[in-house]
């Protein structure tokens, strides 16, 4: 993940297998396209462990700050909801958050 993001992006672990990626200066469609590129890089990554060939996938939910004063919690909820829609659709997908969820 580190090698696929821009120097201005901030990536951090958000849960066991979940990460948050903050991409300043990108609107939701641009961020979603960047995430699709990152998904392709991850999908092509192969690792060997104890003789087994390991491959990886990445699902992503993308949300955009649309108003000054929008809460970080509301933004994370929107991205998380989009992430779970992506996983339910078959994994290795990128979904944008639907029209504004509760931002408080």
Beta strand 52-55 pairing with 46-49: antiparallel
CA dist 104 and 90 (Å) reads 30
Residues tagged active-site: 17
d(CA 53, CA 42): 14
Q: What is the token pair recorded at 6?
A: 């821009």
């Amino acid at each position: 993940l580190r090698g696929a993001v821009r120097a201005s992006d901030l990536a951090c672990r958000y849960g066991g297998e979940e990460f948050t990626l903050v991409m300043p200066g990108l609107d939701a469609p641009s961020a979603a396209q960047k995430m699709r590129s990152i998904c392709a890089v991850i999908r092509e990554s192969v690792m060997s462990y104890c003789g087994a060939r390991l491959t990886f996938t990445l699902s992503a939910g993308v949300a955009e700050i649309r108003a000054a004063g929008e809460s970080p919690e509301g933004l994370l909820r929107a991205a998380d909801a989009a992430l779970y829609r992506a996983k339910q659709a078959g994994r290795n997908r990128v979904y944008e958050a639907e029209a504004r969820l509760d931002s408080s």
